[in-house]
Structure 1
Amino acid sequence: MPADDSAAPVLHERRGPAAYVTMNRPRYRNAQNSAMTYALDEAFYRAADDPEVKVIVLAGAGEHFSAGHDIGTPGRDAHLPFERRAGLWWDHSTRTGAESRFARESEVYLGMCRRWRELPKPVIASVQGACVAGGLMLAWVCDLIVASEDAFFADPVVRMGIPGVEYFAHPWAMPPRIAKEFLYTGDRMSARRAYEIGMVNRVVGRESLEAETDRMALRIAEMPGFGLALTKRAVNQAEDLQGLHAGMDSVFGLHHLAHSHNAETAADSLGGMNVAAMKEANG
């Protein structure tokens, strides 16, 4: 896969009944900037609208699925305006402080992830290497996760004084006590452990990841498309009745309280934890 910044941040390809959406910033471990977020939205919309597509695969080019939100690459574009699609909050680039952060993250993080979770076709995450913080959000909006043996999962943002990433699915993706340990320590969870707690559907060798994901996608594609859409909606509704939607709303407020506290008491809204500091802290 190309590693040039001039390359498209997301690639889209259809193979038979499956659409493959691939994050394409491998030089930066597929760190998610706004350009990538909106390119993902476009690719998902295209796949949802294609009557030939029965199932979608989300993957990451290179060694890692995604290292999370872009907090320090040359392509970081948090200050730039984009055409809003996931909500009616105003253009964050024209505001400052908490007003700007809340508007932007309502759109590009919580709003986009909720939009993608409701895509009426099954989505499979194909995960290798790092799936960290914002990368977790991308995996968790998918219906199924196939992981390579070298994949690992982590949400280390408590080091920033922030109670987890914006799309707070932790207590639904894993048992609550495991979620607390996951957040309190910021430690990496192996693919095997993620499988044991039910967060991952299958774990395979890195060399078999693409083939196993393909097999699963083609098996699912044998089912009637409308039946798949209704089944996905049924399970999502059950999760929402268990509090997922309302829980995310409440934690999103806590998340922004933490950002604002950091902005008042630390170097910035991330508590002064830049890429280098986070990397050193998490090993």
Structure 2
Amino acid sequence: MLDTPVSSAYPSTDVLQLTRRGHVLVVTMNRPGQRNALNAELRGALRATFDQYDKDPEFRCAVLTGNGPAFCAGGDLKEMAETKMQVPPEDSFVILGSKGRLEKPVIAAVNGFALAGGFMLAQNCDLAVASEEARFAISEVKRGRGAPWAVPLMSMVPKRIMMELLITGDPIDARRAYEVSLVNRVVSPDQLLDAAIDMAEVIATNAPLSVWAAKQSVELATEMGESDALRASHLLYHRVYTSDDAAEGPRAFAEKRVPVWTGR
């Protein structure tokens, strides 16, 4: 399936490339000369893009990657120096949409260095596929900065791995990232985007409300504790069980055809 342009409802900017692959939105950060460092323009474009994605019924999953040899080198240090930034603005850490949390899944396709804010972007995606050449680091300690956004790592990696990442600032390679559960798959560089899109297309073929409820229940489980999350998940899935799609799935199976999901 060929890439096609997205609608004019999405931001038009040189710092992002947006393409459509069926029900999958591919978002490519496009500041290769700056290793896709997050300046104000790129942060704003990403927020606006993912806000639109979250409400666009045409898309069911998104892939985020970077153009050039780096996924994202983090915050734009030159911009920080020019603006004499001390405490970052609150929205500096809210990039995948303006609410800080999306209803739909996003897959990171990490093609090179994911440093500092770039690590944060990969961390905030729901799934991650990494190139064998990818490197991950929370490098703020090497620049006298901080990483309060890293706290959710406590539900992703063991305590000593999290401590190592935070206080050494040294990078780990893709294989190590896979071993400690930071990424779901490691592939060769030439297979990266296709592997991430293939995963996204599998998700996009599933019932949208079931995917929505599954994503919410996983997030609840990591924040609320087992008993409270279990009760809340039953409420989430009530919307799924009473939907048109809940009847369409068994009907399509009985009729030996592909389901036609409406998300209702």
TM-score range, shorter chain: 0.7 to 0.9
- TM-aligned CA deviation for residue 12 of structure 1: 1.6
1:182 is aligned to 2:165: yes
Residue range with higher mean Cα deviation, 114-123 or 134-143? 114-123
- TM-aligned CA deviation for residue 122 of structure 1: 1.1
TM-score by length of 2: 0.74
- Check whether the contact 1:33–1:78 (CA below 8 A) recurs between aligned residues: no
- TM-aligned CA deviation for residue 236 of structure 1: 1.0
1:14 is aligned to 2:20: yes
Q: What's the counterpart of residue 48 of structure 2? A: 42
- Check whether the contact 2:96–2:102 (CA below 8 A) recurs between aligned residues: no
Counterpart of 1:71 (choices 77, 81, 84) is: 77
Q: CA RMSD in A?
A: 2.4
Counterpart of 2:92 (choices 108, 118, 129) is: 108
1:238 is aligned to 2:221: yes
Q: What's the counterpart of residue 251 of structure 1? A: none
Matched position secondary structure for 1:229:
helix
TM-score by length of 1: 0.70
Q: What's the counterpart of residue 62 of structure 1? A: 68
Runs of 4 or more, structure 1, over 3 Å off, are 76-79, 111-117, 160-163, 165-168
- TM-aligned CA deviation for residue 130 of structure 1: 0.3
- Check whether the contact 1:132–1:155 (CA below 8 A) recurs between aligned residues: yes
**Partners of 1:144 and 1:116 in 2: CA distance:** 19
For 1:1-283, what aligned pairs fall within 5 Å after superposition? 8-72=14-78, 79=83, 101=87, 104=89, 106-109=90-93, 111-112=94-95, 115=98, 118-241=101-224
The AA in structure 2 aligned to 1:108 is S
**Partners of 2:139 and 2:81 in 1: CA distance:** 22
- Check whether the contact 2:50–2:96 (CA below 8 A) recurs between aligned residues: no
- TM-aligned CA deviation for residue 141 of structure 1: 1.1
> Which sections of structure 1, spanning at least 5 residues, go unmatched?
1-6, 80-95, 243-283
Matched position secondary structure for 1:120:
coil
- Check whether the contact 2:46–2:97 (CA below 8 A) recurs between aligned residues: no
The AA in structure 2 aligned to 1:69 is G
**Partners of 1:64 and 1:54 in 2: CA distance:** 26
- Check whether the contact 1:65–1:130 (CA below 8 A) recurs between aligned residues: yes
Percent identity over the alignment is 38
Q: Computing the radius of gyration over CA atoms, which structure comes out larger, 1 or 2? A: 2
> Which sections of structure 2, spanning at least 5 residues, go unmatched?
1-12, 226-264
Cα deviations across residues 94-140 of structure 1 (Å, max 9, x unaligned)? xx986xx35x1x1221x445856521111000001100000011111
Instruction: Give the aligned length.
Output: 214
The AA in structure 1 aligned to 2:25 is A
- TM-aligned CA deviation for residue 77 of structure 1: 9.5
